[in-house]
Structure 1
Amino acid sequence: MNLIATIEIKPLPAPITHQHSVLLIGSCFTEHIGNNLSDLKFKVLQNPNGILFEPISVCRNLVSYIQDKEYTSDDLFHYNELWQSWSHHSQFSQPDQKQALERINNSQHTAHQFLKKADWLIITLGSSFVYKLVDNGRFVANCHKAPGQWFDKYLIPIDEQVAELDNTIHQLFHFNPKLKIIFTISPVRHLRDGVVENNRSKARLLETVHHLVNKFDRLFYFPAYELVIDVLRDYRFYDIDLAHPNYAATQFVMEKFSDYAFTEPTKQLIKEIRQLVTARNHKPFHPTSQLHKQFLQKHYELAKRLQEQHSHLDLAAELEYFRL
């Protein structure tokens, strides 16, 4: 008897390898995928503007990377003693305006250069709700805890999402002809919007993404949302807020992503890299003991062998850590 539903996930026709560069953008679930890939020594850049939840912000920031937009003081506002940007996460906010712009523009330039050569773009959409400034109608990517009366909340219609993403995808393919795109929908439940409203929001994202995937042959869909909502389908797999998938759920999704995106040789390499990463995180009780020196020597030899066999890997930190 089957106690959980199953989803058939067809593997990517052209798998991701360690020789590829991957840009990730979108909701907080993007960072679960990005951190995992980064730990496993894939070449990644994630969320150059910080976390973005909805399609309008994702699209407009991707276009800003294509254009290598230079932000100026006119793009910032001063609130709560910080210079902030409506297009960026609060991690870019600074008491000094010059420092805020420097951080923002350094990130912009890095994103422009990375996107120009990237092999893959992973977009994780979290919500169809957007916020617009009341005084000028501008869409904002982050409200920065400003007063609620500053904003109008808006549920983006499907046709508006499709139009915005379609235009952005054409610009991306013109900018980087080799780029391929994977869409995912975040399984994080936006319960503050309300359960019914969250479901309407996710439904619009799903319809939008599948419309585009069916249109472009370089677009793909990975069902992270369905794996948590329909396969696991249990509050045991959520944190105490009942909104965010917990460690067990995210690991389950990443195991499925591995089957979806990687070949068997890549998965074998990942297994050896994970061994190194785990060993490096090990905290010895007796670092001067002979046993620990043998431990370091063993993993230094593994890191050295992998570096020689896979010159595109960056294992410099591991080699330095394990070197006696």
Structure 2
Amino acid sequence: MNFRMTFPLDTLSPAFQHSDQILLLGSCFAEEMGQMLAQHKYDVLQNPHGILFNPTSIVEAMNSYMDNKQYTETDLFLHEDIYHSWQHHSRFSGTDQAQVLAQINASQNAAIDRLKHIDWLVITLGSAYVYALKENNKIVGNCHKVSNQHFYKRLLTLEEVVTGLDNMMHRLFFLNKKVNILFTVSPVRYIRDGVAENNLSKAILLQAVHHLVNKFNRLHYFPAYELVIDDLRDYRFYKEDLVHPNELAIKYVWEKFSEACISPASQALQSKIADIVRAYHHRPFNPQSPGHQQFLQQYAQKVRILQQEHPNLPLAQELAYFEGR
């Protein structure tokens, strides 16, 4: 008897490789996958604006990179003695206006510099609900715990989502002739919107993404949402809030992502990197023991060999540890 519904995944072509440059944008689940990629030494830049949930804010962030936008004091507002940007996550917020702008523009410039060279743009859409300022109808990327009385909330239409993403991608394809785009929909359940409302929101995102993927050859879809909602389909795969997938679920999605979206050569390389990373994080009871010293020498040699074969892999930190530097 089967107690779970599993389904086959199409193999991505072209597949991800360690030589690729990758930009990830979107919800907190995008960061979970970005961290897994970074842990396995892929060349990633994730969420230069911080976490963004709705497609309109993601599109605005991408357009700001293509416009070479630099943020100024007029893009910030002061709330409870802290400077924020309506377009950015609160990780950029702070009490020093100049420092906030410096952090925002440093991240902005990293995205601008990378955009022309990326091989993959990964977009994870979280919600079709948006919050707009009543004073000017501007959709915000983050409300920064400002009172709800300053916003109105609405659901984006399918046409709005498709049109915004479509226009942004046309600009990107003109700027970068080689980039592929991988869409995912976050499996995080935004129950603060209501259960039925969350399902309606996800339905709009799924319909928009599949409409676009069927329209362009360079667009792809990875079913992270379906893997958690339809395959795992159990609260034991969620954190205590019953909303966010837990570590076990994230690892499961990562395994499926690796099998479907990463080239066989990079999958083999991933295994070697994972072994080195595990060894790097291992902390012995007796660091001075002969056994541990031999362990360090063995892994230092493994890193040297891997660096000779793949000079661009960022393994300097691990090598320094194994060499006792």
TM-score normalised by structure 1 residue count: 0.99
CA displacement at 1:96 relative to structure 2? 1.3
CA distance, structure 2, for counterparts of residue 236 and residue 20 of structure 1: 35
Structure 1 unaligned spans of 5+? none
CA distance, structure 2, for counterparts of residue 216 and residue 56 of structure 1: 20
Match of 2:135 in 1: 135
1:86 partner amino acid:
W
CA displacement at 1:264 relative to structure 2? 2.2
CA displacement at 1:64 relative to structure 2? 0.5
CA distance, structure 1, for counterparts of residue 6 and residue 64 of structure 2: 39
User: What secondary structure does 2:116 align onto?
Assistant: helix
Match of 1:229 in 2: 229
CA distance, structure 2, for counterparts of residue 284 and residue 64 of structure 1: 48
User: What secondary structure does 1:220 align onto?
Assistant: strand
Are 1:269 and 2:269 an aligned pair? yes
User: What secondary structure does 2:45 align onto?
Assistant: strand
> Percentage identity across aligned positions?
51
Deviations 1:82-134 (A, max 9, x none): 11100001111121111111111111111011111100000000000000001
CA displacement at 1:263 relative to structure 2? 2.3
CA distance, structure 2, for counterparts of residue 105 and residue 240 of structure 1: 36
CA displacement at 1:268 relative to structure 2? 1.2
CA displacement at 1:285 relative to structure 2? 1.3
Match of 2:180 in 1: 180
- The list of structure 1 runs, each at least 4 consecutive aligned residues, that deviate by more than 2 angstroms after superposition, is none
Match of 1:28 in 2: 28
Match of 2:309 in 1: 309
Matches within 5 A, 1:1-324: 1-324=1-324
CA distance, structure 2, for counterparts of residue 318 and residue 205 of structure 1: 40
CA distance, structure 2, for counterparts of residue 262 and residue 55 of structure 1: 25
CA distance, structure 2, for counterparts of residue 247 and residue 93 of structure 1: 28
CA displacement at 1:316 relative to structure 2? 1.0
Deviations 1:138-164 (A, max 9, x none): 110000000110100010000111000
1:316 partner amino acid:
A
1:66 partner amino acid:
M
**RMSD across aligned C-alpha pairs, in angstroms?**
0.8
User: What secondary structure does 1:182 align onto?
Assistant: strand
2:315 partner amino acid:
L
TM-score normalised by structure 2 residue count: 0.98
2:241 partner amino acid:
D
Deviations 1:172-231 (A, max 9, x none): 111111110000000000011110000000000000000000001000000000000001
CA distance, structure 2, for counterparts of residue 183 and residue 262 of structure 1: 15
Tell me the matched-pair count: 324
Structure 2 unaligned spans of 5+? none
CA distance, structure 1, for counterparts of residue 186 and residue 46 of structure 2: 15
CA distance, structure 2, for counterparts of residue 167 and residue 249 of structure 1: 34
CA displacement at 1:310 relative to structure 2? 1.1
User: What secondary structure does 1:117 align onto?
Assistant: coil
Deviations 1:279-300 (A, max 9, x none): 1111121111111111100110
Deviations 1:211-268 (A, max 9, x none): 0000010000000000000011111111111100111111110000001111222111
User: What secondary structure does 1:215 align onto?
Assistant: coil
CA distance, structure 2, for counterparts of residue 77 and residue 284 of structure 1: 49
User: What secondary structure does 1:321 align onto?
Assistant: helix
